[in-house]
Structure 1
Amino acid sequence: MSIRPLCLALLFVAGPVAAELQPLQEDEMQQVSGQAGLSIAANLNFAANPAQTRCPGGCGTRVAIRPGNSAGVIVLDNIRGMFSFDGVTIDMEKLNSGFDGDGAAFNSGVMRVGLSNVRFGDFRFTLGGSNSETGTPTAGFQQTNLLTFRANGEARLHGNVYIMGLP
């Protein structure tokens, strides 16, 4: 079957269908239920690249941050393995109560991030300082590794992280 007759058939069927947005009255809005915010799930796999020779067996992903006009770079280096999470929620709310009275004093907007069902599969990274964003071993390349993290398993996190200083 040719694509042209299929397209014509779809146009013929879709032609009479029309949809438009219409405003709802307040009493109609009272009947609508839903949930605000955003929910995210992800499964990330970072593989080592054998061409990157500064790490034994090849290096994983590198994230470099140069703060301001600094000569140095903060790096998350050799990121590899599997990291997945289900049910990350991101929501905005006004923090104006709780926290032993500090919420009322704060009385401002915050971003609430909730995380649960985190899984790691031979997930690792190295935190360090470097003089280069790329990490390509050249003359003058220097990197000081401060911390290497490795996790394999599952973690269940309950609760919220509040990011403050938002309008």
Structure 2
Amino acid sequence: MSEETAGPLVIQGLNGLTDRLGTDLGTSSWWTVTQDGITTFATLTGDEQWIHVDPERAKDGPFGSTIQHGFFTLGLATGFLWEICTVEGFKVVLNYGLNKVRFPAPLAVDSRIRMHVNLAEVKELPTPNGPGAEAVYRLTYEVEGQAKPCCVADLVFRYYN
């Protein structure tokens, strides 16, 4: 959690989501990319391409160092989101998927990133137990000292009663 905030923003139900539609919800704390993390992710997923796991070879590669997998970066989304905000008033919260995802810039080892969140879309979902909701969170991953983000994505969550 960032030092500027006392805790995540708490959004109350469908009305709270609707009230915040189109607004910036906040920014996560900084997170440092490590070679150990990259290597562990590579081993777990089987994506052990040298640009991720071979620091010596990567020095002479297109990025000058190893880079974090895009899907590793994307996988941080839920934890960062819950650091920024939580939604209460529903019994079940589901990560429903992603709409558009892009990795416009590489993310080098030892970089620091944080995620900005905008609530881009909200719609009511009818459920047998009362109104549910679908929310689309527009994520932008900022790399410290770099103009271009390393990841932008629309993360879709569904909330059910």
Q: TM-score scaled by structure 1?
A: 0.28
Q: Which has the higher contact order (CA 8 A, sep 6+)?
A: 2
Higher helix proportion, which one? 2
Higher-Rg member (1/2) = 1
> Which structure has more strand as a fraction of its residues?
1
TM-score, structure 2 normalization: 0.28
